Amino acid sequence: MTTTGTTTTVEQAMRRALELAALGPAGGPNPQVGCVLLSADGEVLAEGYHRGAGTPHAEVDALSRLPEGAARGATAVVTLEPCNHTGRTGPCAVALIEAGVARVVFATRDPLPLASGGAARLRAAGVAVEEGLLADAADALNERWRAAIRLGRPWVTAKWGSSLDGRIAAADGTSRWITGPEARADVHRRRAQHGAIVVGTGTALADDPALTARGADGLLPAQPLPVVVGRRDVPGDAAVRRHPRPLLQVRRHEPAAVLAALAEQGVTSAFLEGGPTLVSAFLAAGLVDEVLVYLAPTLLGGSRLATTDLGVATIADQLRLDVREVRTLGTDVLVAARPHPAGTP
């Protein structure tokens, strides 16, 4: 990296740290974090990111790529406040202090009381600490993880693909494919950004889904946990049994109980794919944080609607949403929306 002034150099490093952070797994118990180590004259010494629970944190990953003593006097640019607790790994704040880092610039505070306090520990050791650089981008990267901490449950994204008249299948139950390849590729990309893919037993038995996240070259590196909700057994030869991760079957129907089971597995975000009964139960319970609807330019008619009873008896009870994104994907249209805040017009 060439130096074009201290502020510019550090901001470039933070943008790179955010890119690195996005390479780590999403939807698990840990946030996505990236780190870039800069020399006193602004050259990149090393980079690192967190690769998942039990692996070195981003700061330690970056430090491990340098010979002993090479980080003395360096600036650590990190997307999240260095942690201050010992879990599966030691405190990153201590690792930076012991490495002789002179300055730490981080984007946003750690919201976990157990892990926070790294900034104070660094300052107490004489390390210069600055915070807030590209904080909005860092918060957006870990939005679902932060929401799970705030809500005390996994973030839930409900997704379905339908015709323009809201049907997810023809009268005989066939549904492959309503949407086109571009829409399906987008679904797989978004699956990989969540900690679990959740379907009901009806969908699991009727469609035999693999519940994997796939790209043009096969399975994506990040694979969410496959989850089937319901009391009926999933056959031993079902496609989901060949998933890279073991199937979690939650033999409960209550949305809150399902989310509690996911939280026990360290899941902080869930991609809810169906069927209509399961999706509608979560919507009616107010436990959906985001809705993704892939609309195909076709009409099917019939009774196979994307949702069932949502508890809306009168128009005043409608579940209002705020549209956050509208995107064309091939011949289809994605509408991304979130529940309208209660109490606002």
Bridge partners (DSSP) of residue 323 are 337
* pLDDT computed for residue 145 by the predictor: 96
pLDDT in tens, 150-185: 999 999 999 999 999 999 988 888 888 899 999 999
Reading phi first (left if > 0) and then psi (alpha if -120 to 50, else beta), residue 215 is in beta
The tokens of 299 are what?
A: 């009409």
Cα angle for residues 44, 49, 55 (degrees, 5° grid): 135
CB atoms within 10 A of CB 100: 14
Grade residue 269 by pLDDT with cuts at 50, 70 and 90. very high
* pLDDT computed for residue 6 by the predictor: 60
The tokens of 302 are what?
A: 């019939």
Grade residue 222 by pLDDT with cuts at 50, 70 and 90. confident
> Model's pTM, two decimal places?
0.89
Catalytic residue among 47, 59, 81, 290: 59
Position 118, amino acid: G
- Which DSSP string do the residues of 178-230 spell out, in sequence order? SS-HHHHHHHHHHHTTSSEEEEEHHHHHHH------EETTEE-S--PEEEEES
Is pLDDT at 216 greater than 90 in this prediction? no
Grade residue 232 by pLDDT with cuts at 50, 70 and 90. very high
Of the given ranges (115-124, 128-137, 249-258, 294-303), which has the lowest mean pLDDT? 115-124
From residue 139, alpha-carbon distances to 169, 175, 280, 307, 332 in Å are 38, 37, 29, 32, 30
Higher pLDDT, 48 or 217: 48
pLDDT in tens, 239-254: 999 999 999 999 998 9
* pLDDT computed for residue 250 by the predictor: 96
Best CA proximity match to 247, nearest among 208, 277, 219: 208
Grade residue 88 by pLDDT with cuts at 50, 70 and 90. low
* pLDDT computed for residue 174 by the predictor: 83
The tokens of 35 are what?
A: 């780190």
* pLDDT computed for residue 217 by the predictor: 87
Distance (Å, rounded) from C-alpha 72 to C-alpha 69? 6
Position 29, amino acid: P
Grade residue 7 by pLDDT with cuts at 50, 70 and 90. low
Best CA proximity match to 211, nearest among 248, 163, 176, 236: 248
Percent of the chain with pLDDT over 70: 95
Mention every residue, 6+ apart, whose C-beta is less than 8 A from residue 8: none
Q: What is the mean pLDDT of residues 254-281?
A: 95
Q: What is the mean pLDDT of residues 106-129?
A: 90
* pLDDT computed for residue 15 by the predictor: 97
Enumerate domains of the chain plus CATH numbers. 6-146 (3.40.140.10), 152-339 (3.40.430.10)
Looking at residue 82, the DSSP 8-state letter turns out to be: P
Is pLDDT at 341 greater than 90 in this prediction? no
Mention every residue, 6+ apart, whose C-beta is less than 8 A from residue 11: 133, 134
Q: What is the mean pLDDT of residues 176-202?
A: 94
Across the beta sheet with 196-200, the strand order is 248-250, 225-229, 196-200, 269-274, 155-163, 290-296, 332-339, 321-329
* pLDDT computed for residue 344 by the predictor: 56
Output the average pLDDT for the chain: 92
Is pLDDT at 345 greater than 80 in this prediction? no
Clarify whether 59 is annotated catalytic. yes
Of the given ranges (2-11, 71-80, 180-189), which has the lowest mean pLDDT? 2-11
* pLDDT computed for residue 3 by the predictor: 34
